[in-house]
Amino acid sequence: MSQNPDTLRGARAELIAATRRGDAWAKPFPAVGGGAHPASVLVLFGRLDSIAAGTDEATVAADLDVLLQRRAATLSSHPGQVSFPGGRAENTDADAVATALREAEEETGLDPDGVEILATLPELPLAASNHVVTPVLGWWRTPSRVAAVDHAETVEVFRVPVAQLLDPANRHTSTIHRMGRTWKGPAFDIDGTIVWGFTAMVLDALFDAAGWTLPWDPSIERAIDV
C-alpha cells in the first residue's frame, strides 16, 4: 500500500511539499524574449557521505548535499559560473526529465539509475542566454562517482552541504552592474566560491518554500565581477 505523501516527514518530504507551493517558491525571474530555447537542470539532493543510509523520514536538511558544477570560463554562455548540471533540450529527449538526466550524465558522469525524480518544477526564464529552464528536482538514492567529463564545458563538479548553504554567514546579496543598471539577487559564498544568478535564485526560493531558510542579512552586498 502506497503512503500518503501528506503524512511523510523528513527532508525528502519537505522538498516535495515545497514544489507544490507554486508562487511561494517561483520568485520573479527576468523575462525572456521570443524564440527562447527550452532547457532543463537537475537539482539533485542526496545524503552526505558521513550520514548513514536510513529511512528518508529520518533525514533532515542538515544531512543533505546538492550537486553543483563550475562552467568553463571559455564558454559563451554563463562562463565560469557555478550551476546545476543541465542544458538545452534535444529533439531526441522525451521530456524535461530526460533532458536533465542526459545532460547530468554527459557533464558529470552521473548514473541516472540512482536518481529518483521528485518533481518537475515550472519553467523559469533565463534571460541572459534566452532559455526557458525546467528545474527537475531529484533525490540521490544511490550516489555514483561524479567528475567533470568534458573540461571544455565543465571544469569542476562538487557536492555542497546544504547546511553550508543555509548558514547565514555564507549568504549575501550579489550586485551586477550592466548597461547602466544594477541587478541584485541572492548569493552563497562557499569557501570563496560564489553561487549567484539563476542557480542561487532557485536554491534561495526552494529553501524558502521548504522552510529551511535561516535569517540572513540581505543588506550585505558584494559586486560580481563579470
pTM of the predicted model, to two decimals?
Answer: 0.89
List the chain domain ranges. Answer: 5-161
Contact between residue 70 and residue 113 where contact means Cβ atoms under 8 Å apart: no
Secondary structure of 74-101 in HEC code, one letter for each residue: CCCCCCCCEECCEEECCCCCCCHHHHHH
The pLDDT value given to residue 181: 79
Q: Of the candidates 167, 171, 163, which has an alpha carbon nearest to the alpha carbon of residue 201?
A: 171
Fold of 5-161: Nucleoside Triphosphate Pyrophosphohydrolase (3.90.79)
d(CA 41, CA 99): 8
The pLDDT value given to residue 15: 94
Per-block mean pLDDT, blocks of 10 residues, the chain (226 long): 54 92 65 76 94 82 94 58 88 93 94 96 78 92 90 85 97 86 90 92 93 96 84
- Within 10 angstroms of residue 181's Cβ, the number of other Cβ atoms is 7
Q: Which segments of 132-196 does DSSP mark as H helices, in order?
A: 162-166
